[in-house]
Structure 1
């Protein structure tokens, strides 16, 4: 009797001969790049360093495309965006110690947003490992420990034969839902030593599926089918699992209004009759969601931003579909379904009964009218016109990447993403400097569409060095910098809280002249000319910078009744 697990693939004669006679001049770094290529990687991001040179030397013997950034954190943001756009694990090659640690903020964002990033770092030579202090440059007592609280999984390598399996395990971890960043570290001597191991070819690292338990979806379908006022909150998990179409079908079958979280922008069509859009910092929206007798939450942990700063208190039954086990019922009691959003929505589509509810579209229209009236009463015409100009200038299928800046906070609530997986921001972890390097990663992932980055002048200074990267690789990114002379949102927060702001004002460069010094075209615009200038920059190939001097204000959120 033969069992499936007894079957092994036997090499052909040609494969055996090739394995017995590997090409000369290979090192441990070649095993890294061969494994990445065998897993399907085509592009890697990173920054070289002394201990990592074995990997970078191996790149020239491979077909992998290398996109090198100027700061490790920015390379991490670029890999994050590449992973979001392609759905593939984005390799990030880093050096030891300071180089590795500089990537931590980017990996935190990738973890919060479930972006698949495969970070491969060097380590001090093997002789320096084991917990001692041996005085090697870049040495840390326990480098992997610095990453365990940030990434999804950590994989340590100590010999060359471990490299292919460790990277394959990390790849599988990054792409098993919930997606996320993973960490592999390899000592310098292991990367540099000549290897006689066979060339790594096809590697199997198929991610695991996460289907829902059928008894749970049966209960969920029963609750939704019998609901009087169902509603749906769609989070980033819907976007990550490419489940937007199934979400629309389920909402229409149930006649349930849908609000998308800031991370779920584009998961539900903005102009759909059942769309509540993304006005989460609004008491009218919170009231409608609290009034639902059955609330379906898909791909969201209902964290701080998604719950109107934890003021949201649902009165009805909550059903939560979430791939991240730790987020299941973490903020609200629910019928928790640990599953991939796409598979769970498909199961519900097959089992719910259609609901008739002619009043559902009217409830959605009434809510949006209340929101519009509230915003109109605050006399924020400039902000709304600037955001509308950006939307008109940006092609419908072009992705946009937003830094933590006032215009981005407006966009979370008020910007029509037009399609799933086209609007991205750093709202997962909330670090500055995300927008521009992330846009570079997206442009590397798909050069057929222009990409927009939006930053304030404070965030722009975090990633200004990447103008050199944009120019070097000819990446088709237009960078809109809203220049208000400081950390605008912090200025508002401090003024509101303390009557005046401290440490928020910035001396900044002439961004147009600075861009041109990198060989990148720059233009200074006004709110009146923004649409035309932005559209022109987006239409021209290669990188460009558009600077908008403007003091924007945030709309007043409503947390309380």
Structure 2
């Protein structure tokens, strides 16, 4: 009896000839880049180092495009953004020890945001492995142990024949819901040694589907169909699963108001009659959600920010759809459905009954009016003017990447992203320095549209070296730096808590002159001219810097009421 897969595995005469006579001059590093290309990768990020040179030399013989950054952590942020924008696993090539460890903060952000990053690191030669101390440069007793608590999976290689399968397994892991970063390490001698192995051409690493169990979606559909006041919280899982269209269909079918988390920005249209927007740090919104008799949470673990600092106490029945098993019912009892958001929303669409509720849009309007009134009473016209100027200047469809800075905290709640998968920030893990290198990764993914990065002056100093990267690859990124003389949000936190701030004031460079020294045009702007200057910079090809000297304030916290 002949099975189809038996036929698939039989090489053609040409394939057999190529396999038996591989081209000369190849090494283990070639197996790495051949496997990546065979999996569909087109662009890799990274930074070379002594033990990793075999991989980087192999790039010269491959069709892969290399985008090199100046700091490994920034290369990780760039790969993270590339993965978010494309939905593909973004290869990140790193060296051993210090080079590898410098990427940890970026990989933590990728893990928190479910961004598919495929980190491939070198290792000391195999003779030095095993936990001893052999005196090799960059040596760690157990390098992979440093990454196990951060990434989805760790894959170690000790021979050349293991390279294709290890990378394929890592690729599959990165792209199986929930997406995330993965780690592969390969010793220096394995990368450098010549290989007689055939060229890697056929690699299958199709990610596994994560469908919902039908008995669970049947119960969920029944609860939602019979609800008097259903509501929906849409998280980053909706964006990652490309499920915003299905979310909108379901919300309209149920007449259920929708709030998007900060990681789920763009999952639901901002101006839709059922849109509660993203005002999660607001007691009015928290009260509204607590009042829902059935609350559908899709693609969110309801963590610190999404739960208004854990003050959210739902009174109705909660249904939680979550691909990350560890987040399922981690904060609230629920009907937990372990599934990819897209597949689960499709199952609900097919089974819920249509509801009519003429009051839902009116309740949404009333809530947004309460929020607007609260903000209006706090004398925050400057902050709203600046954020409005950014929105006017940024073309619809252009992505934006926000560092951990006061303007970004405003944007989490108040910025209309005008589409799914267009606004991204480092709010998953909360590390500084994300905005600009991430924007570079997005521009590498799609150089046909301008990309905006937003940083404070403190965060900008984390990634200032990447102005050289922006110039070298002529990437269309406009970097808005809001210069308030220090770590503005920490200054505010400390002043509120202790009466005065410590270690928050910074000596800064002249950012315009510094940008111009890299060959990147810069301009100093004002709140009044920001929209015009930013629009002009975004419309100009290549990188640019816009500096706004301004001290912004956060709106008053509302999780205390």
TM-score class normalised by the smaller sequence: over 0.9
Residues 398-425 of structure 1: per-residue CA shift (max 9 Å, x gap): 0000000000000000000000000000
Distance 1:299 1:3 in 2: 40
Q: Return the offset for 1:9.
A: 1.5
1:280 Cα deviation from its structure 2 partner: 0.2
Q: Give CA deviations for 1:131-186 in whole Å, capped at 9, x if unaligned.
A: 11100000000000000000000000000000000000000000000000000000
User: Which 4+ stretches in 1 moved above 2 angstroms?
Assistant: 1-8
The alignment partner of 2:22 has SS state of: coil
Matching residue of 2:492: 492
Q: SS of 2:155's equivalent?
A: strand
Give the secondary structure class of the aligned counterpart of 1:262.
coil
Q: CA deviation at 1:557?
A: 1.8
State the Cα distance separating 1:103 from its structure 2 match: 0.1
Aligned equivalents of 2:272, 2:90: Cα separation in 1: 34
Q: CA deviation at 1:3?
A: 5.5
**Offset from partner CA, 1:311-331 (integer Å, 9 cap, x none):** 000000000000000000000
Partner Cα distance (1:559, 1:146) in 2? 36
SS of alignment partner, residue 556 of structure 1: coil
Deviation of 1:4 after TM superposition, in Å, equals: 6.1
What's the secondary structure of 1:78's corresponding residue? helix
**Hey, what's the Cα distance between the residues in 1 that align with 2:349 and 2:448?**
34
User: 1:37 & 1:517 partners in 2: Cα distance?
Assistant: 37
Q: Secondary structure at the match of 1:177?
A: coil
Query: Partner of 1:407 in structure 2?
Result: 407
Partner of 1:536: 536
| Alignment partners' CA distance in 2, 1:156 and 1:5 | 29
Counterpart-to-counterpart distance in 2, 1:329 and 1:7:
46
SS of the equivalent of 2:482 reads: strand
- For 2:344 and 2:455, the matched residues in 1 are separated by 36
- Rounded to whole Å, the distance in 2 between the matches of 1:4 and 1:326 is 38
Cα distance in 1 between the residues matched to 2:185 and 2:117: 14
Q: Distance in 2 between matches of 1:395 and 1:433?
A: 24
Post-superposition CA distance 1:290-319 (Å, at most 9, x none): 000000000000000000000000000000
Residue number in structure 2 paired with 1:524: 524
The CA distance in 2 between the partners of 1:6 and 1:339, in whole Å, is 33
Alpha-carbon deviation of 1:560? 3.0
State the distance in 2 between where 1:98 and 1:428 align.
24
Query: Which SS does the other structure have where 1:7 is aligned?
Result: helix
- Rounded Cα–Cα distance in structure 2 between residues aligned with 1:362 and 1:339: 32
Query: Residue deviations 1:350-404, cap 9 Å, x none?
Result: 0000011000000000000000000000000000000000000000100000000
For 1:539 and 1:557, how far apart are their aligned partners in 2? 36
Q: For residue 165 of structure 1, give the secondary structure of its aligned residue in structure 2.
A: helix
C-alpha distance after superposition, 1:93-139 (max 9, x if no partner): 00000000000000000000000000000000000001111000000
Question: Which residue of 1 is the match for residue 26 of structure 2?
Answer: 26
Q: Tell me, in whole angstroms, the C-alpha distance in 2 between the residues paired with 1:389 and 1:331.
A: 37
| Aligned mates of 1:4, 1:375 — CA distance in 2 | 65
- Counterpart CA distance in 2 for 1:190 and 1:247 is 48
| Cα deviation code 1:187-223 (max 9, x no counterpart) | 0000000000000002100000000000000000000
Instruction: Please state how far the C-alpha of 1:6 moved relative to its aligned partner.
Output: 5.7
CA distance in 1, matches of 2:300, 2:515: 39
How far apart are 1:19 and its partner, in Å?
0.6
Cα distance in 2, alignment partners of residues 376 and 427 from structure 1: 25
SS at match of 2:344: helix
CA distances 1:239-296 after superposition (whole Å, capped 9, x unpaired):
0000000000000000000000000000000000000000000000000000000000
Query: Aligned equivalents of 1:186 and 1:451: distance in 2?
Result: 34
SS in 1 for 2:118: strand
Task: Provide the C-alpha distance between the structure 2 equivalents of 1:258 and 1:247, rounded to a whole number of angstroms.
Answer: 9
CA distance in 2, matches of 1:102, 1:3: 49
3-state SS of 2:486 partner: coil
Q: Quick one: distance in 2 between partners of 1:167 and 1:506? A: 43
Deviation of 1:7 (Å): 5.7
Distance 2:123 2:28 in 1: 13
Call closer, same or farther: CA 1:10–1:4 in 2, change over 3 Å: closer
Q: Pick closer, same or farther for the CA change 1:282–1:463 going to 2, 3 Å.
A: same
Question: Cα distance, 1:5 vs. partner?
Answer: 6.3
Q: Using the alignment, how far apart are the partners of 1:499 and 1:131 within structure 2? A: 49
Quote how far apart the aligned CAs of 1:345 are: 0.2
In structure 2, C-alpha distance between the alignment counterparts of 1:360 and 1:556, rounded to whole Å: 28
Matched, 1:112 2:112: yes
Separation in 2, partners of 1:198, 1:510? 54
Question: 1:201 & 1:246 partners in 2: Cα distance?
Answer: 36
Q: Which residue of 2 aligns with 1:132?
A: 132
- The residue correspondences of 1:143-542 to structure 2 (distance < 5 A) are 143-542=143-542
Partner of 1:84: 84
What is the CA–CA distance in structure 2 between the aligned matches of 1:444 and 1:556, rounded to whole Å? 38
Q: Partners of 1:363 and 1:335 in 2: how far apart?
A: 26
In structure 2, what is the Cα distance between the partners aligned to 1:560 and 1:384? Answer: 23
* 3-state DSSP of counterpart to 1:259: strand
Q: Provide TM-score, normalisation by structure 2.
A: 0.99
Q: Which runs of 5+ in 1 are unaligned?
A: none
Structure 2 CA distance, aligned partners of 1:363 and 1:203?
53
- Once residues 441 and 167 of structure 1 are traced to their aligned partners in structure 2, the CA distance between those partners, rounded to angstroms, is 21
| Cα displacement (A) at 1:2 | 4.9
Inter-partner Cα distance in structure 1 for 2:367 and 2:560: 16
Mapped partners of 1:544, 1:550: distance in 2: 19
**Distance in 2 of aligned mates of 1:258 and 1:494:** 34
